[in-house]
Amino acid sequence: MQPNALLDALLAEAGMSHAGLAAHVNQAGRSRGLALRYEHTAVTRWLRGQRPRGQVPDLICEVLGGRLRRPVSLDDIGLGLPGQPASPHGSPLSGFVDRAAALWRSDEQGRVQLLNAEAVTGTPAVIPVWEWENPPEDADVSRDGPNLIGPEHIEILRAARAHYELMYRRAGGVATRARIVRFLGSETAPMLRGRYPDRLGRQLHRATGSLVAVAGICAYDSDAHGLAQRYFHQALRLAKASGDRGLGAYVIALIVNQSLHLREYRQAVAFAEAALRAAGRQTTPALTADLYAMQAKAYAQLGDTAAALACIRRAEAAAERIRPGTEPDETGYVQPGLVNVQVAEALLSMGDLRAAHEQATAAVGTPAHDRGRVHRLAMLCEIQLRQGEADRAVAAAAEMAERAKGMESLRLRDRLRAVREQLLTSGCSGAEETAQLIDGALRVPL
């Protein structure tokens, strides 16, 4: 069972307690000749995902609709049945906004079910990408809400994205996620429910999609993969509403990266291909380079050396076309050296240690923010250990541990632990001392 975030959000909006909803449902049932005796425990079960029987879902709609003074459908409370038509009031996009805001609220409340949910695979994972790539498009995203939205609100969202992305790079996703989710619920949701024309609405949905993508990155970095996937799918839907194919391709790059981590290699190849195909010329050189580099990693894991090498050549060719100042904010993560370390990982998987070392050395020799440098040093250390260059590996690992201090990131912790194990297994001189440095970096509480 999945928690019913929509019903939870409407209860909060109506200012109604669990016991209050139960009492009102009992009263509404009596008007229909039903003898209901629900208590707050029943509402708790509904919020956990249990579907109430008989006419009770309709009674919940009636009670909440009366309190909120607007029609409330079964879809609105998360109890719609598959295959039935959607609510007659409101557009599909407005319904999506309500569901997105409900997820943000549940995440802010720290619902364990959300944090522990596994990422979906197969058809449920493919559908959001397919829907982004294919018609129909959103003909009009204007909305007639209570508050007038202007260009200044777009700038607030863009500034928030830059702020939280920088915080993520410096402090990690664990520390940043709670803050960005709180901002989404308190500031972003009211903007999406405001009043704006189509042109401004597309800018609003673009800025929101870019911000939600960062929330997904933070969830991924917190090892909450099901939650991260839901944020990425939200960002993809918002990108479609904005009409910006390039933004959608960026979001798919994030999904591809998660697919690689989850070892869904064929899915990673297919999603990257969809982004490159659908976005076309709106895929910038930086994003193109990253997508091909990740495809190379996936092909290498699948044992398709020829395809991996072809993707490496395409990634390197695209990287040469990157021009500073011409890329959107979202692709700022494709810093000099990123493609090198991605290619190094692919080459390492193919067993080409010499070429992998060359690429990893180039990556480490290029300036990067601390988070990126930690990953690059970890890759270089692994390659050096395999080549028997123990002294150099120890030096790289020591710098990696120093750079990682203070970062609350489960992904970085994975890299640190892997390097620590490799060092101790190698038995090289200085391994014990460097392992202690890594232990110090791992002691940061999450």
* Fold designation for 102-360: 1.25.40
What pLDDT was estimated at residue 37? 94
Distances (CA, A) of 70 to 14, 65, 288, 313: 11, 5, 46, 57
Q: Where are the domains of the chain?
A: 5-85, 102-360, 369-446
CA distance 213 to 234: 8
Look-up: residue for tokens 């699948």?
A: 302
- Tell me the helix, strand and coil percentages in the chain, rounded to 5: 70, 0, 25
Do residues 347 and 359 touch, judged by C-beta distance below 8 A?
Answer: yes
pLDDT in tens, the chain (446 residues): 677 888 888 888 788 999 999 999 999 999 999 999 999 999 999 998 899 999 999 999 999 989 988 788 888 888 887 544 444 333 478 888 888 988 898 888 887 777 888 898 899 899 999 999 999 999 999 999 889 999 999 999 999 999 999 999 999 999 999 999 999 999 999 999 999 999 999 999 999 999 999 999 999 999 999 999 999 999 999 999 999 999 999 999 999 999 999 999 999 999 999 999 999 888 999 999 999 999 999 999 999 999 999 999 999 999 999 998 899 999 999 999 999 999 999 999 999 999 999 999 999 999 888 899 999 999 999 999 999 898 899 999 999 999 998 889 999 999 999 999 999 888 888 889 999 999 998 886 65
Distances (CA, A) of 85 to 73, 75, 141, 252: 11, 9, 21, 29
CA distance 337 to 342: 9
Give 196's strand partners.
143
> Rounded to two decimals, what is the model's pTM?
0.86
CA distance 124 to 14: 32
What pLDDT was estimated at residue 99? 83
Please state the φ and ψ torsions of residue 325, each to the nearest 5 degrees.
90, -5
Burial class (CB in 10 A: 0-12, 13-18, 19+), 199: exposed
